[in-house]
Amino acid sequence: MTYVNEFLKKEKPADYYSKLLEELEEKNNKFHAFNVLNKRISDGFPISVKDNICVKGMETTASSKILKGYIPPFSATVIKRLEKDGFSVLGKTNMDEFGFGSFGINCEVPARNPFDETRVAGGSSSGAAVATSIMKYHAAVAESTGGSIAAPASFCGVVGFTPTYGLISRYGLIDYANSLDKIGFMARSSGDIRLLMSKSVGVDPADTTSVDVKLSDVKKEKIVVIDELYDKIDKNIKLSFDSSLSRLSAAGFKVQHVSIPEIDYSVPVYYIISMAEASTNLAKFTGFKYGLKVDDFSKEYNEFFTEAREAFGEEAKRKIILGTFIRGASVRSKYYEKALRIRRIIRDKLSKVLDDSFIISPTMPVLAPKAKEAESFSPIQNYSMDLLTIPPNLCGFPTISLPSDYIDGLPVGLQLTGGQFEDNGLISFGEQWEDSFKYKFKYNIGEL
């Protein structure tokens, strides 16, 4: 049984909402999962929405000062579809500004990991993972560019699902990088992910990248480990991962190691492409139309826009500067166009492996670091933390991150990657993982 079905059978939604809102505000002051809470009592299953996905009438800021006060006059397609099927928006969740981050610390007040408040919750969908971790009856609508669903899901011990690129309409999403962004979900069970997907997929005339395909429930007996990625994970994570592989082997799965040297280019290629696209998307935030307004129209052109763009955080400014340089006529072929060609090579290599197998890895190469430690990381150290989640996201393949273990009380995630449109096969694997291996969610914080 999914948590959605359990909720509908056991709870009176209005009564649950009333009690939940009383307790959630106090919890939120502690964990900072939500940027905005919807105080209206509802009768639907509660979902949270990442703060870069528009909800009509609810402030949507992408956790950026430059969008403070922006109230969308419309809802994203995925939200309209879910609300039509009985889901209700509980609030907008905290995140790295515009999705720029792996730890959830690139914002005004970072979300806290519910298993250890001194540690990061993961990013960029940090609040979505925390909300899913602290509430039993809840699911989160989130978004991933290079691992923004999988990373926080792993650090907070919940299921994170990133669909095939184009399966869920991106209309109403505040873009990070258009060729990489995917709206997905977090929940406490793979069954809930299946339900959310069934209500959300489908072509949307408002999004030309959306597709209409029939998803098959693919089952594969072979799972593949990529040696170049395996060699880069932390020792403790490796031991836990090896244990998971042993359990899968005992259950009849064939585990195979392969070498794909080109995979080492995934991180630099991803950041070249994403920065170039991000710098273009950020150009619309000028202090004139959305959110923050600069009212003194007597200023010179450069002075006017510079004042508005001081509201950007450090990582957003880095994306603008580097992305604009990468797109420059003198270097575009050297960096951006070459990165596109390498992305195609990596996608072809992974597609060949995925013909008859799933790819498996830990979700993150390390345990959730201390927040103070993460704040001291250099940009390169930050970017390298995405080495396991970037390859499938770069290629538009679906992934599921499943809670698999605990090390020193901290959750560890297991990531499975499928071929294009093999989303249901990953969800079935997740259901098997939860049922056959009797994995039990463990919460040390007292859930709502």
pLDDT 10s digits, 393-408 = 999 999 999 999 999 9
Distance CA 297, CA 51 (A): 30
Higher pLDDT, 385 or 21: 385
Burial class from Cβ neighbours inside 10 Å (0-12, 13-18, 19+) for residue 381 reads exposed
The closest alpha carbon to 193, from 403, 426, 30, 444, belongs to: 426
> Which pLDDT does position 82 carry in this prediction?
97
> Average pLDDT in the 31-56 region?
93
pLDDT of 1 reads 61
Query: Options 3.10.20.440, 3.40.47.10, 3.90.1300.10, 3.40.50.1970; which CATH number does 3-218+360-436 get?
Result: 3.90.1300.10
Residue 439, pLDDT above cutoff 60: no
What mean pLDDT is predicted for residues 108-130? 97
Residue range 79-96: mean pLDDT, rounded? 96
pLDDT, tens digit (0-9, with 9 covering 90-100), for 409-436 = 999 999 999 999 999 999 999 999 998 7
Distance of alpha carbon 415 from alpha carbon 426, whole angstroms? 10
Spatial contact of 210 and 204, defined as CB atoms under 8 Å apart: yes
Euclidean distance between CA atoms 284 and 302, whole angstroms = 15
Does residue 182 surpass a pLDDT of 90?
Answer: yes
- How would you class 178 by CB atoms within 10 Å of its CB: exposed for 0-12, middle for 13-18, buried for 19 or more? middle
- 126: tokens are 């940090």
Find out whether the peptide bond into 124 is cis, omega within 30 degrees of 0.
yes
As to burial, measured by CB atoms within 10 angstroms (0-12 exposed, 13-18 middle, 19+ buried), residue 330 is exposed
pLDDT reported for residue 437: 65
Share of the chain above pLDDT 90, in %: 83
Q: How confident is the model at residue 441 (pLDDT cuts 50, 70, 90)?
A: low
If one counts every other C-beta atom within 10 angstroms of the C-beta of residue 211, the result is 17
Report whether pLDDT(444) > 50: no
| Higher-pLDDT residue of 235, 17 | 235
Q: Tell me the catalytic residues.
A: 50, 124, 148
The total number of residues written for the chain in this structure:
448
Residue 199, amino acid: K
Domain residue ranges in the chain: 3-218+360-436
CA 114, 106, 67, 153 torsion-angle sign: negative
Q: Quickly state the pLDDT bin for 304 (edges 50, 70, 90).
A: confident
